[in-house]
Structure 1
Amino acid sequence: MKKTAQIVLISISILFSVGQAVIKQTFHFSDIIDATIATVIAWFVGWQYDKLQYFAKKKKENEDGYRKLIDWLPNPIIIHDTS
């Protein structure tokens, strides 16, 4: 499973926190806590998004497999006796 969303969201969270510190030109302990919380939330959201993408891909592969199976089956023949 790729971790693309996790990496992107964590990077954005860290860059935003560093950017805030540079703009304010101060960095307090509460800023570290806020940055940590934001990074943990970004990690969790990215993890969930990556799982969603993984299972969506697996679902599509299963649908394609079943579709091929149905296409390979012979056409049904119905015999109806009216006597």
Structure 2
Amino acid sequence: MRVHCKKATTVICLATQLHTIATGNMTPMFRVDGDTIRPVYIYTVDISEFGVNKLRDRGSLEVTSIVTNVQDFLVNIANNLI
């Protein structure tokens, strides 16, 4: 998991608090590609407000939290990609 997190530019965490917190703690807030520094975007989607705010409370300020039902979120994403 660490290898994939270090290469990621966008991380979307869906409905698992422990995995979201672990990924947020392992993922750097920026990525260096040659001479370019790029931010790493982290999104958390969960129905529980506690779950999405926990990572922000731990000091990861680059997290965008979405409080919604994950199934509805995925259906809307799939419908808008087609």
The two structures have a TM-score, normalised by structure 1, of 0.23
- Find the structure with the greater CA-based Rg: 1
More helix by percentage: 1
Between 1 and 2, higher relative CO (CA 8 Å, sep ≥ 6) is seen in 1
